[in-house]
Structure formats: structure tokens, C-alpha cells
Amino acid sequence: MAASSETTTKAQQAPTLTPSEYRPRIVDSRLDTLLHAFGAVEIVGPKWCGKTWTALSRARSADRLDDPATFAAAQTDPSLVLMGAEPHLVDEWQDVPTIWDASRRHVDDNANRKGQLILTGSAIPKDHTSIHHSGTGRIARLRMWPMSLAESGDSTATTSLSALFNGDFAPSERLTDIPDIARWCCRGGWPANLGLDDEFALETPGEYIASVLDISVPHSGKNPEIARSLLKALAINISQAPRYSVLAEDMAYGDEHRKPTEQTIKSYLEVLKSLYLITDLDGWEPPLRSKSRVRTKPKRYFVDPSLPAAVLGASPQSLVRDTQTLGDLFETLCLRDLHTYVSAMPGASNRLSYYRDEKGLEVDVIIELSDGRWGAIEIKLSDLKVTDDNAGKLLAFRDKICGNPKAQVREPEFMMFLVGRGSKAYRRSDGILVVPIATLGA
């Protein structure tokens, strides 16, 4: 027993595999928390967003399934890729789905000791039949996104989203203009782009889309051309809640014979979701069991604004002249960053949603924390759109939601205009915050 204990201690003291050029990510602290609370943690998210490097920054040993010998061993016996100094990383585990149940058993066999395994996955396993257990209580899930502006160094992060929920806010300055927003939307939050000139960084999103269509979509048993037309339709309807009929019309390019069925669209949307390329923003309506909450169609967003920009063939120069499209891409950028900042907060059920009522009153983003606190955010491309009229709509929304004694909804911790073009983060006389995205952080 003493020798076994000594071996475990040495394994835990082994250095991590942190890459020499690793830039800390906002989810790092949340990963640390989950590794102290669960036997294993699964990190999921789109390819190229930095999952592997984040996992290596905490792992002390690793097996990577892109190595043919490792892949063959895992197929023969998945337990063979679960051995090593803890935390042990299994990269792209979904390529051998039987690893999931083996990981659950591994955690159980080691008395549910915390921090044993880290699994990374850039797709939901295609073959679900080989997975028999959920992993509840043994394997926690952590979602990663492409880099936020705070992580890439383009935001000062002087306005902390988590601090706003505690009532803490201090004015700050950071001048940004429309060309800055257009550039950030087209470059995207890909870690590989850090330090690259725009000439080279702008190549990444297009190559990403090509990789998805040439490799990932056929691997899922789907037609790349149908997937391409759906991506184009989603990009045209970005930040909207289009019906399947609208998507079908846009996919057909005016040719009635090319119009896909609703079932086809659904199946291809599931593939894009399984690759973590798109995400749904559900409708919000208190109280919790309201039927409106269920019936409101979800809005669909790409996980990074550079992807729809690439699909549309947009460039920073063209977007400066097309502020309607830029505004939609900016909303996608804001959703990416807000998801990233919320992912670092305690609580497994924190969520983002949007509000729209039967009279057309709408709020772009509602952030709802596990403990019931919430905030409301309106997204505007420019601070010139922060008018008394738009502020009045936010105030009317608050009065409607909090003024209903039957709903018993607490007051929001904050209401905010999140803007692109701007120079100052400040509080208006009506209490609403105006925050440039380039000052926001976790």
C-alpha cells in the first residue's frame, strides 16, 4: 500500500504537458474546479478552438487518437489509452466511442478519485450504440469556444461580467471603430491566428469551412453540397430564427426542384451542431414553466463570426460598407464572447437566451445564472444607437417582467447596451450600462 501511495503521489507531482507558447484561457479556472470535483472532465467545442492545448496545460500524460498506433490500441481495448500520470488526457475520444464507458469504469475502479482523466472532443460520436452510460457523477462537461476578445488581447477586460452580477462597475475607456469590428469578425477567435497579419489570418476561416465540407461532413455520411447550401442559408439568416421553409427557399437558389425537405434540413442541422459549428439561443420567458419559453423558436448562431463571414465571402473592407451584415456578424461575436465569459462562472445551469413577446418587445440576450440572478443585454453595432428610445424599450421590458406579482421575478442585476463602435464604458442616468465589447471580460 505504501508503494502504491508513493507512486500515485509521484504521478500527481509530475509536470504538466503545457505547450511552451500556451496562452491562458478563461475556462482554465473552471477546468481546475471540475477536476477537483469529478473523476473526469470532457472538454468539447469546435476544432481549432484550443481544446487540446488547454487540456495539455493540466494533463501530466496523454494519448492522442490521431496517432494510428494509439487509435488501433484504443479500438482493441479502450482501457489501454486510459493509463498514465493523472490527469491523463485522451484527445479526440469520440473517434473510438467505447472509450466513454471505459472512462466511466476507470473512474469507478479508482474509487471515483478526482482529476483522473481529461477527454477532449470536437464532435458528438456518430455511433451512439456503443455508449451505454451517461457518465453522470463521474464525467463533467466543459464547453469551449474560439477565443474571446479578452483572450486574444483585443479587449481590456476592464468591465467584468461576473462583477456586474455582484453590482460592481467602474467606468473605463477604450476607443474602437467600425473597421476594428469588421476586422475582428473576419479574423475570428482562432488561436492559430494570434500574431498573424490580417493577410494570413483571414485565410483560416475559409480553410475551416473547406475542412468541414471536405472531411467532417462526408465522415458523417452527408452530402457536402447540401451542407454548403445550408451553411449559406444560415449565414444569410444569421442571428435570426428562420423557419425550415425559409432555409429551404434560400438553399434552393430559386430552383423549386432543389428545395430540400424539412427532414433533410433537420438532419443536416444536427450534423452541424454535432460538430459544434452552430449553437441555438432559446427563448426566455419567466416563470420557468411558461409555455412561451417552450414555443419561442430558437435563434441560430455560428460559434464564431468568421465562419459566416467566410461563407458569405465577406472581407473587412466590404463589411465597412455593409453595416447591416456587419451588425449581424457583430451580434455573433458578442454571443461568442458572452458564452466564453459565462462558461467561467460557477454553476452547471448558467444559460444564455433571448426574449421576444407577442407584441414585438425584444431583448437580444438574457444571461440567467444557476442561483436565479439575471441580466439583460441589447447589442448595438455603434454607441450612436444608444438612444433614449432604445433605452425606454429595455426599461419597459424590465417593468413588464418584474411588475407581474404572479411571476415573482427578481429585478435584473444589470441592464446593458453592448456596443461595437464606442470609447467609454459608463452608466446612464437611468441606470442602464453602455459597455464597448472591447472593454468586456470575464
d(C-alpha 127, C-alpha 42), whole Å = 18
Q: Is the pLDDT of residue 341 over 80?
A: yes
Alpha-carbon distance of 272 to 267, in angstroms, equals 9
Task: With cut-offs at 50, 70 and 90, classify the pLDDT of residue 1.
Answer: very low
Q: What pLDDT does 296 receive? A: 76
Residues 102 and 182 placed together within one structural domain of the fold: no
- Domain span at residue 163 reads 149-441
366 residue type, one letter: I
Q: What is the pLDDT of residue 357?
A: 87
73 in the same domain as 205: no
According to the model, what pLDDT value does residue 291 have?
55
What tens digit of pLDDT does each residue of 188-209 get? Answer: 999 999 999 999 999 999 999 9
pLDDT score of 3 more than 60: no
Domain boundary among 143, 176, 211: 143
Name every residue whose Cβ is closer than 8 Å to that of residue 421 and which is 6 or more positions away in sequence.
176, 177, 178, 181, 381, 382, 383, 384, 436
**Do residues 122 and 166 both lie within one domain?**
no
Between the CA of residue 301 and those of 240, 277, 330, what are the distances in Å?
A: 8, 9, 11
Measured CA to CA in angstroms, residue 237 lies from 22, 142, 163, 289, 365 at distances of 36, 28, 33, 29, 18
Residue 409 has a pLDDT of 86
Query: Average model confidence (pLDDT) for the chain?
Result: 92
Q: What is the dihedral of CA 114, 117, 121, 125, to 10 degrees?
A: -90
Q: Are residues 159 and 82 in the same domain?
A: no
- How many domains in the chain? 2
Q: What pLDDT, on the 0 to 100 scale, is given for residue 62?
A: 98
Q: Are 196 and 239 within one domain?
A: yes
CA atoms of 307 and 301, how far apart (whole Å): 10
Domain end: 143, 167, 184, which one? 143
Cα→Cα distances 71→55, 81, 212, 320, Å: 19, 9, 21, 47
pLDDT at 286: 72
Residues 283 and 334 in one domain: yes
Task: Judge contact between 333 and 185, C-beta under 8 A.
Answer: yes
Angle formed at CA 76 by CA 71 and CA 82, multiple of 5 degrees:
65
Q: Give the model's pLDDT for residue 405.
A: 73
Q: What is the pLDDT of residue 131?
A: 77
pLDDT at 419 over 70: yes
Asked which of 118-132, 234-248, 419-433 is least confident by mean pLDDT, the reply is 118-132
CATH assignment at residue 91? 3.40.50
Confirm whether pTM is higher than 0.75.
Answer: yes
In this predicted model, what pLDDT tens digit does every residue of 209-254 receive, in sequence order?
999 999 999 999 999 999 999 999 999 999 888 999 999 999 997 6
Is residue 6 predicted with pLDDT exceeding 70?
no
Q: Minimal CA–CA distance to 99: which of 121, 82, 112, 115?
A: 82
Q: What is the mean pLDDT of residues 420-432?
A: 98
Residue 179 has pLDDT above 70, yes or no: yes
Are 139 and 159 part of one and the same domain? no
Distance CA 210, CA 307 (A): 11
The share of the chain scoring above pLDDT 70, in percent, equals 93
Which of 127, 143, 159 is the last residue before a domain boundary? 143
Paired strand residues for 176? 422
pLDDT at residue 167 above 50?
A: yes
166 and 266 in a common domain: yes
In the structure, what pLDDT confidence band is assigned to residue 292 with cuts at 50, 70 and 90?
low
Tell me, yes or no, whether 271 and 230 share the same domain. yes
Q: What does the alpha-carbon distance between residue 105 and residue 116 come to, in Å, rounded to a whole number?
A: 12
Residue 8: pLDDT over 60: no
Which of 6-15, 231-240, 344-353, 405-414 shows the lowest mean pLDDT across its residues?
6-15
Quick one: average pLDDT of 360-373?
94
> Residue 253's pLDDT is what?
76
Strands (E), 285-393: 299-302, 351-356, 362-368, 374-382
Same domain for 110 and 186, yes or no, is no
Grade residue 257 by pLDDT with cuts at 50, 70 and 90. confident
Residues 116 and 157 in one domain: no
* Confidence band for 2, pLDDT divided at 50, 70 and 90: very low
The answer on 128 and 54 residing in a single domain is: yes
For residue 22, the Cα-to-chain-centroid distance in whole angstroms is 20
